[in-house]
Amino acid sequence: MWLFDKDMWFEIFHTLGKNMFRTFLTMLGVIFAMIILVLLLGSANGMSNGFNKIFAGTASNSLFVWGQSTSEPYKGFERGRRIRYKLEDADILKRQIPEIQVLAPRIELASHRGTVTVYRNGQTSGSAVYGDYPEIDDITKKKLVEGRFLNQTDIDHSKKVCVIGEETYKLLFEKGEKAIGKEIRINGVYFTVVGIYKPNNNINIDGENAVFIPFSTFQVAFNSGDRMGWMAIAVEENTPVPFVESQIKTILKAKYDIHPDDDRAIGSFDMSEIFNNISAFTTVLQGFSFFVGIFTLLAGVIAISNILLITVKERTQEIGVRRALGATPVIVKRQIVLEAIVLTAFAGLVGFAVAVGILSIMNSMWGSGDDFPFVQPMISIPQFVISFVLMVGLSVLIGLLPANRAVKIKPIDALREE
Amino acid sequence: MIEIKDLHKSYKMGSNSLHVLKGINFKVEEGELVAIMGSSGSGKSTLLNILGMLDGADSGEYTLDGVPIKNLSETKAAQYRNKFLGFIFQSFNLINYKSAAENVALPLYYQKVPRKERQEKAMQYLERVGLKPWAGHLPSELSGGQKQRVAIARAMAAEPKVLLADEPTGALDSKTSYEVMDLIQKINDEGNTILVVTHEEDIAHMCKRIVHLKDGLIVEDKKVEQVRAEQYV
């Protein structure tokens, strides 16, 4: 098999090695093309990872349901009736819809997105105050900088504890002051701070200036009875969120005498929709960078072909001599094509190595994903293999061009004294 | 060894056709040292190209060592060239990025001779042309005479039936020319068949036979008393 002919490879490397400058110039195009391809792909991957990280704290297959006002009169009720859920709804829904994994009821002080004045030692903050179950942490994860989140014991004993946002901490406490164990006052009731959470650049539904207290404590302290503001619901992995969403709405509509066609009475937000949009976006981004990269690579390979074409002209005499000495057209052709392949492959590897180096520098500089969605920019092995195979394949096709030119050189023309 | 009968060759120059060889009949026996002479345009280079299978004839017969040379494919021609012929050119035509030894070994590479054997043979032939110490040098580090000697070693390395030399001394001063001719004579003394194309009288007389070409025909074909180049060296 000629492919394993050691002499042939020696001859090719010898020829390329003895013409270093030419070889280097020829390779530049592909080196840069490969760098661009890998950087593009790596950055797209980094971005994709970055988005994934943003959502890492949020269960992607989740939805939020809250009450609004009816927009249709029904069963003797006028339109514009405010829908208020009861805590029992949580159990009803959980029982009737097995696809619900976690259901965390929540209640807010004041209106939705409204704020309450929180006091401490003469300092105040306008914060949102939520009564929550610890399960909420399974749906929207809080990054705690200090202390702990609410737990079941807090609920069971209606403990007067709270977890506050970093923003709230800054407003209520001096810089560097220890907050854990200190008390804050909400509507005349004192709560002990047990945890501080940090804004983590992730999706932040609750905001950074908020106070979380146990649901049961909320009921007692603020006399909310069995009212429930809204629900955060995590759905089983393989169940489409809209499916569960419509079931929930049907049940709630029946329970609260809402017209079946009234779409306004129950507010809901499907988290998975955002996820799908973003993953579609990153997929398109990756596809696009692959597309651009491959064409850049094509341009690079064409550059190799071009330079080989020029060098074939320059090497007319050499090729003529080789043919006069007995090189058959096939041998000449093979030599040129293999030179093209070796050049491309080597240049590709060099470009790859450089690009990977650049990516790891980028990674160490911005890879933590704190400032913008960019985490671990790197290309995957299949991406690398595909681009490499494509590149070498192209180089074969494109190497044939100068190879055919080389074969067309008649030794007699090459050796003519002029 | 070489036999050609009624060889014709013409080149197309635009609408005109230039009849270069107008019926050459010519025979070379084994061990001969033949000079082909003629002014420029006489057709001597064309004849050599046809003999060297670098160019095809329009009509006529050409037999080399009993093998009819006709309608060769490029591949076949390359193989025959490699097997039967050694070329020596006026401008040496060494590959400039290969050392002397690598240049000499090149025809052996195309004969698929193993690498080690190739190197040994190359050294052996370089020694015969007296350039063994220069084996590792690039052509650019050699003088004109040395380059031509490397080229001769290369032509010999494949052990061809016939050596074809196209103005081998054309680019050399007379002293080096004689050195090269001395080498060619010695190679001929060993029984090798050599054809030398030249337009220099003194070089021609260092061969054993002179064939004069004029306007595409052989006008004179005579055996001459060989002048040994040794005495001028």
ipTM for this prediction: 0.87
- The yes-or-no verdict on residue A418 having pLDDT over 50 is no
Residue B205 tokens read as 């007389």
- Using only C-alpha atoms, chain B has a radius of gyration, in whole angstroms, of 17
- The yes-or-no verdict on residue A375 having pLDDT over 50 is yes
8 Å CB contact of B78 and A327: yes
CA distance A290 to chain B (A): 40
Instruction: For residue A49, give every residue at least 6 positions away whose Cβ sits within 8 Å of its Cβ, in sequence order, or none.
Output: A369, A374, A375, A376, A377
| Average confidence (pLDDT) over A100-129 | 80
CA distance B130 to chain A (A): 22
What is the model's pLDDT at position B208?
93
What is the model's pLDDT at position B45?
82
**What residue in A sits closest to B46 (Cα-Cα)?**
A412
Among A17-31, A335-349, B12-26, the minimum mean pLDDT is found in: A17-31
CA distance A318 to chain B (A): 6
A-contacting residues of B 64-83, CB under 8 Å? 74-75, 78-79, 81-83
What count of CB pairs under 8 Å joins A to B? Answer: 75
> What stretch of H or E contains A225?
none
8 Å CB contact of B98 and A18: yes
Question: Which of A6, A317, A326 has its CB closest to that of B111?
Answer: A326
What is the model's pLDDT at position A290?
83
Residues in A closer than 8 angstroms to B112, CB to CB, are: 7
pTM of the model: 0.68
| A238/B192: higher pLDDT | B192
Q: Which of B46, B92, B95, B198 to mutate to probe the A interface, most A CBs <10 Å?
A: B95
Instruction: For residue B129, give every residue at least 6 positions away whose Cβ sits within 8 Å of its Cβ, in sequence order, or none.
Output: B149, B150, B152, B153, B183
Encoded amino acid at B211, one letter = V
pLDDT (tens digit per residue) in B6-16:
999 988 888 88
> What stretch of H or E contains A12?
helix A6-18
DSSP classification of residue A302 = H
Among A14-18, B28-32, B168-172, the minimum mean pLDDT is found in: A14-18
What is the model's pLDDT at position B125?
92
Q: What percent of chain A has pLDDT over 70?
A: 92
Instruction: For residue A284, give every residue at least 6 positions away whose Cβ sits within 8 Å of its Cβ, in sequence order, or none.
Output: none
Tell me whether B119 touches chain A (CB under 8 Å).
no
Question: Which of B78, B97, B115 has its CB closest to that of A328?
Answer: B78
pLDDT (tens digit per residue) in B180-215:
999 999 999 999 999 999 888 999 999 999 999 998
| Average confidence (pLDDT) over A393-412 | 84
Q: Which of A325, A328, A416 to mutate to probe the B interface, most B CBs <10 Å?
A: A325
8 Å CB contact of B115 and A323: no
Tell me whether B98 touches chain A (CB under 8 Å).
yes
- The yes-or-no verdict on residue A369 having pLDDT over 60 is no
Question: Which of A7, A320, A328 has its CB closest to that of B79?
Answer: A328
**What residue in A sits closest to B91 (Cα-Cα)?**
A417
Tell me whether B87 touches chain A (CB under 8 Å).
yes
Residues in B closer than 8 angstroms to A6, CB to CB, are: 115
Among A94-108, A299-313, B202-216, the minimum mean pLDDT is found in: A299-313
- Closest by CA position to A342, among listed A383, A372, A301, A370: A301
8 Å CB contact of A325 and B79: no
Cβ atoms < 10 Å from Cβ of A385: 10
pLDDT (tens digit per residue) in A44-86:
888 888 777 777 666 678 888 888 888 888 888 888 888 888 8
Interface of A with B (CB under 8 A): 6-7, 10-11, 14-15, 18-19, 317-318, 320-331, 407, 410-412, 415, 417
Q: Which residues of B7-24 are buried (b: 16+ CB within 10 A; e: fewer)?
A: bebbeeeeeeeeebbeeb
- The yes-or-no verdict on residue A112 having pLDDT over 60 is no
Question: Which of B49, B93, B115 has its CB closest to that of A7?
Answer: B115
